[in-house]
Amino acid sequence: MNLFYLVAFLSIFFSLLVIFTKNPVYSVLYLIVTFFTFSIHYILLNAQFLAIVNFIVYMGAILVLFLYVLMLLNLNKESEPMKSNLLKVAGVIAGLCLLLTLAGSLKLVHVSDPVLLKNPDIGLVKNLGKVLFKDFLLPFEVSSILLLAAMVGAVLLAKKDPNNV
Amino acid sequence: MELAFVIEKVVLVTVIFLITLGIAAYSTLAERKIAGFIQGRVGPHRAGPSGMFQPLADGGKMFFKEEIIPAESNPWLFIAGPCLALLTASIGSAVIPWGQDLVIGDRVIQLQVADINVGILYIFGIVSLGVYGIMIGGWASNNKYSLMGAIRAASQNISYEIAMGLSLIALLMVTQTLSLRGIAEQQAGFWQNGWFSWNVFCQPLGFLIFLVCSFAECNRTPFDLPESENELVAGYHTEYSGFKLGAFLFSEYINMFVASAVMSTLYFGGYNFPFMNHLGLSDNVVTILGVVFLFAKIFFFIFFFMWIRWTIPRFRYDQLMNLGWKVLIPLSIANIVLTGIWITVKDLM
Amino acid sequence: MESLSNRKKVLEQKPMTFGEKIYLPSIAKGLAITFKHIFKKRETIFYPEQERPVSENWRGLHSLKRDEQGRERCTACGLCALACPAEAITMTAAERKKGEEGLYREEKYAAVYEINMLRCIFCGLCEEACPKEAIYLDGPFLEADYLRKDFIFGKDKLVEEPLKS
């Protein structure tokens, strides 16, 4: 349990650093560490598959792309676009909306008792696969179609229009 | 956790770590020797008998050279880059089964540091982390060549990871387990139920894709674009000197060793060797022989990495991307479909 | 244009067959070639221990010769310095004193004779210009050194060893 508090403290600490550092590259690096602590959380919950998938997909792929894009940006202070007041107001409103949604959803969440989890091995690959392909087959396939659509869209965006070169 | 268990694991980790470092060090010598042999030269031969102490001399040189941190660079990230590269390279060997269980008295000693049930995915995750060292180091150098090298490394690794993962999925459909130990055990012996038991014989295409991708992931020729010396001035390690440069170069060789070990475990039977159960030897002897055979396979693959390096020229960057996205990924998807059909047909029969 | 000699061959570039497109056979061929080379004879000459035989008209470092009686042949006429295209040779002449007949063959000799080996191009024109057959380029390679001044060879390095009686 102490380990949990340590890891939880670390993940909150690093996610705060993500927000408060000035340099965006540092932000991404702290985000990597934050995701790493999330992986440790999953392992503590005996969800090895989720841990390793979080590791591969978020740390290994998505954040590499984040870093990739940030490296290509010119991060000088002078070239930073001036943030207008309108943008700031929009940001505040959006943030408050997110906060409201979070608060609303938290009210609905029931407290589950992790000690009484019926199957402690639910996070292992075999059980997870069975659950995904039996109980949640439809949402699983629907989300895969969503991903496919996104992929096709990305390819189309990247493709040059032959009539318009 | 009893004390003996902890000691056993600590000893195993230390031994594996030392072996990894030793093999990586001597890979540098082997690389230069093989390059020499292929080009009709002898390679390094002055330090010790036929150059045996050359790695020590190289290491000494790396240690005592001046460490230069460029003035406009980002010093913390500049140091973190090579450290990360070395770290991610060396933790990959944790899940590789080096042999069967060793039985001494009542104790059963597992020749594997951690038998986790997502072993392959662990390796895969470590591989995908490997690019951070290069990217951070290249960016922190504050040099255009280094940045270009870092960007090339990132895009290359991401592209080839996909094909690598898809070729692994076909393998997992055959083995039905993610644990490397389980996969190694399934390939016992050499001939089983009327067919070769090693996975390379039922996944030849998958192995080929995996091999090509592991070349790309290790940044080895013909995919060594991130560090191409004559177009990018050594790419991401342009600004590095002394031991930090050594760490980058060393991590490349460690990566090569781990990739060879993974390939031998996944596709070439790991510690299994032909007729292992028909020789009438005691279990421990078979285990030790298995370790020897595993290392023989690993050395062959390391040799193969070098052999390819001195045979095939470097790709152009667009060729590299074409090969990754337009050839290897469709091929590996086709491989998954073929494997699925084959499994279904086999089940029906 | 019409070819007059009729020997012009037009290079035909056929589209690659499938076997050529997958490159694997040619890679295997290349690997076989490099593997064969591993067992071929090495061309290396281990230099300090082993030296490559030089040709008969090899031109190496200069040496100032002595005659049959062990006397220096050079008479400091300066023809070699004049012939030198690289301006590498300088000398100071001196008159032979009484009692030095055993040392110098002619009445005039070179008190100082210097060749700047960094300027010398080892063309051998000094050798050809010498009327007394005093200078020959029959030495070994020029060895590396740390300081530029050490490349100016004086008589101590140029003159042949005295005859052993």
Neighbors of chain C with 3 or more C-beta pairs under 8 Å: B
Q: For B268-272, C37-41, C154-158, which range has the lowest pLDDT when averaged over its residues?
A: B268-272
Q: Is C74 helix (H, G, I), strand (E, B) or coil?
A: coil
User: Does C3 count as an annotated binding residue?
Assistant: no
Burial (CB count <10 Å: 0-12, 13-18, 19+), residue C93: middle
Q: For the CA atoms of chain A, what is the radius of gyration?
A: 21
Contact state of A65 with B117 under an 8 Å Cβ cutoff: no
Asked if the model's pLDDT at residue C3 lies above 70, the reply is yes
- pLDDT in the model for residue B232: 65
Contact state of C30 with B312 under an 8 Å Cβ cutoff: yes
Asked if the model's pLDDT at residue B309 lies above 80, the reply is yes
User: Does C126 count as an annotated binding residue?
Assistant: yes
Residues of A in contact with B236 (CB under 8 A): none
What are the DSSP E strand ranges found in chain B?
Answer: 102-104, 107-109, 191-192, 195-196
Residues of B in contact with C38 (CB under 8 A): 34, 37-38
Among chain A residues, the shortest Cα distance to B80 is held by A29
Residue C42 has its nearest CB partner, among B41, B307, B312, at B41
Q: For the CA atoms of chain B, what is the radius of gyration?
A: 21
Backbone angles phi, psi at B281, to 5 degrees: -95, 160
Residue C31 has its nearest CB partner, among B39, B40, B307, at B307
Q: For B332-346, C77-91, C94-108, which range has the lowest pLDDT when averaged over its residues?
A: C94-108
Distance CA C22, CA C27 (A): 9
Distance CA C70, CA A161 (A): 91
Which one-letter amino acid corresponds to residue C17? T
| Cβ–Cβ pairs < 8 A, chains B and C | 32
- pLDDT in the model for residue A146: 95
Asked if the model's pLDDT at residue B1 lies above 70, the reply is no
Domains of chain C: 63-158 (3.30.70.3270)
**Segment A24-30 long-range contacts (CB within 8 Å, at least 24 positions apart):** A24/A70, A24/A73, A24/A75, A25/A67, A25/A70, A25/A71, A25/A75, A25/B77, A25/B139, A28/A63, A28/A66, A28/A67, A28/A70, A29/A67, A29/B77, A29/B136
| Cβ–Cβ pairs < 8 A, chains A and B | 62
From A36, A75, A57, A13, select the one nearest B84 (Cα to Cα): A36
Residues of A in contact with B135 (CB under 8 A): 64, 67-68, 71
Residue range B219-260, pLDDT digits in tens? 887 888 766 666 666 777 788 888 888 888 888 899 899 999
Which one-letter amino acid corresponds to residue C4? L
Asked if the model's pLDDT at residue B27 lies above 80, the reply is yes
Domains of chain A: 2-73+120-164 (1.20.120.1200)
CB-based contact C80:C93 (threshold 8 Å): no
Asked if the model's pLDDT at residue A50 lies above 60, the reply is yes
Q: What is the mean pLDDT of residues A102-116?
A: 73
Give the residue numbers in C contacting B (CB under 8 Å), as ranges.
27, 30-31, 33-35, 37-38, 40-44
Residue range B173-194, pLDDT digits in tens? 888 888 888 888 888 777 777 6
CA dist B223 to A45, B133, B288, B312, B329, Å?
39, 18, 36, 10, 16
Which one-letter amino acid corresponds to residue B188? A
Q: How confident is the model at residue A147 (pLDDT cuts 50, 70, 90)?
A: very high
Contact state of B154 with A68 under an 8 Å Cβ cutoff: yes
Angle at A126 between CA A124 and CA A127, to 5 degrees: 70
Contact state of B310 with C34 under an 8 Å Cβ cutoff: yes
Global pTM exceeds 0.90: no
Contact state of A56 with B157 under an 8 Å Cβ cutoff: no
Give the residue numbers in B contacting A (CB under 8 Å), as ranges.
77, 116-118, 121-122, 124-125, 127-129, 131-132, 135-136, 139, 147, 150-151, 154-155, 157-158, 161, 178
- pLDDT in the model for residue C46: 85
The answer for B 290-349 residues in CB contact with C (under 8 A) is 307-308, 310-312
Among chain B residues, the shortest Cα distance to A57 is held by B125
The pair of structure tokens assigned to A11 is 């993940």
Q: What is the mean pLDDT of residues C145-157?
A: 90
Q: What is the DSSP string of B62-125?
A: HHHSPP---TTS-HHHHHHHHHHHHHHHHGGGGG---SS-EEETTEEE-SSS---TTHHHHHHH
User: Does C77 count as an annotated binding residue?
Assistant: yes
The C-alpha of B118 sits at a distance from chain A's nearest C-alpha, in angstroms, of: 7
- pLDDT in the model for residue C7: 83
Chain-wide mean pLDDT for chain A? 82
Q: For A92-96, A131-135, B116-120, B225-229, which range has the lowest pLDDT when averaged over its residues?
A: B225-229
Residue range B165-177, pLDDT digits in tens? 899 888 888 888 8
Q: For A137-141, B287-291, B335-339, which range has the lowest pLDDT when averaged over its residues?
A: B287-291
Distance CA C110, CA C72 (A): 9
Burial (CB count <10 Å: 0-12, 13-18, 19+), residue B130: buried
Q: How confident is the model at residue A82 (pLDDT cuts 50, 70, 90)?
A: low
Percent of chain B with pLDDT over 90: 7
The C-alpha of B158 sits at a distance from chain A's nearest C-alpha, in angstroms, of: 7
Among chain B residues, the shortest Cα distance to C48 is held by B46
Q: How confident is the model at residue A79 (pLDDT cuts 50, 70, 90)?
A: low
From B252, B232, B248, select the one nearest B240 (Cα to Cα): B248
Distance CA C153, CA C151 (A): 6
Chain-wide mean pLDDT for chain B? 84
From B194, B216, B247, select the one nearest B329 (Cα to Cα): B216
Q: What is the mean pLDDT of residues C53-68?
A: 88
Q: What is the mean pLDDT of residues A52-59?
A: 85
The residue whose two tokens read 């600490």 is: A13
Give the residue numbers in A contacting B (CB under 8 Å), as ranges.
25, 29, 32, 48-49, 52-53, 55-56, 59-61, 64-65, 67-68, 71-72, 124-125
Burial (CB count <10 Å: 0-12, 13-18, 19+), residue A140: middle
Asked if the model's pLDDT at residue B105 lies above 60, the reply is yes
Residue range A10-46, pLDDT digits in tens? 999 999 998 888 878 888 889 988 998 998 888 888 7
CB-based contact C105:C26 (threshold 8 Å): no
Q: What is the mean pLDDT of residues B277-289?
A: 78
Q: What is the mean pLDDT of residues C117-144?
A: 89
Which residues lie closer than 8 Å to B237 by C-beta, 6 or more apart?
B137, B146, B149, B227, B245, B248, B249
- H or E stretch covering C34: helix C24-38
Which residues lie closer than 8 Å to C88 by C-beta, 6 or more apart?
C115, C116, C117, C119, C120, C121
Among chain B residues, the shortest Cα distance to C37 is held by B38
Contact state of B311 with C31 under an 8 Å Cβ cutoff: yes
Q: What is the mean pLDDT of residues A123-143?
A: 84
- pLDDT in the model for residue C32: 92
Burial (CB count <10 Å: 0-12, 13-18, 19+), residue A67: buried
- pLDDT in the model for residue B233: 66
The C-alpha of B55 sits at a distance from chain C's nearest C-alpha, in angstroms, of: 21
The pair of structure tokens assigned to B256 is 């090569």
User: Does C68 count as an annotated binding residue?
Assistant: no
Residue B139 has its nearest CB partner, among A59, A64, A71, at A71
User: Does C8 count as an annotated binding residue?
Assistant: no
Q: What is the DSSP string of B304-317?
A: HHHHHHTTSPPPPH
Residue range B40-85, pLDDT digits in tens? 888 888 888 888 888 888 888 888 888 888 887 788 888 888 888 8
From C41, C129, C34, select the one nearest C81 (Cα to Cα): C129
